[in-house]
Amino acid sequence: MKEKYITRYEASKGQSYTFVGWRLCITRKGERFVRYFSDLKFGGIEQSLAAARKMRDAMMEDMARGVDDYKAFFNSYRRLGRGE
């Protein structure tokens, strides 16, 4: 399944995984927003993907209204709690 701006992400250290989940990454006008959604924190693969989609969709909706300063826009989303 291909999700726009969302990719499956697994980071390992040694023989075990230290992070398994989804990565949301959006870049606009040289500014980048990245947020990780852990399967463990959100209760599974589907739940963490749903949280990533929810944030992506909210951001896309807000950007459709027009954004002048992407740095400030992305910072406003960085201050939100995980999966808000």
Residue 50 lies in a domain: yes
Residue 38 lies in a domain: yes
Whether 16 shows a pLDDT value over 90: the answer reads no
Whether 59 shows a pLDDT value over 90: the answer reads yes
Residue 1 lies in a domain: no
State how far the alpha carbon of 80 is from the alpha carbons of 1, 8, 20, in Å.
27, 22, 21
User: Mean pLDDT, to the nearest integer, of 49-71?
Assistant: 95
Residue 83 lies in a domain: no
Residue 84 lies in a domain: no
∠ Cα 41 44 47 (to 5°): 85
Whole-angstrom distance, CA of residue 14 vs CA of residue 63:
40
pLDDT of residue 1: 60
Structural domain total, the chain: 1
Q: Report the predicted TM-score, pTM, of the whole model to 2 decimal places.
A: 0.85
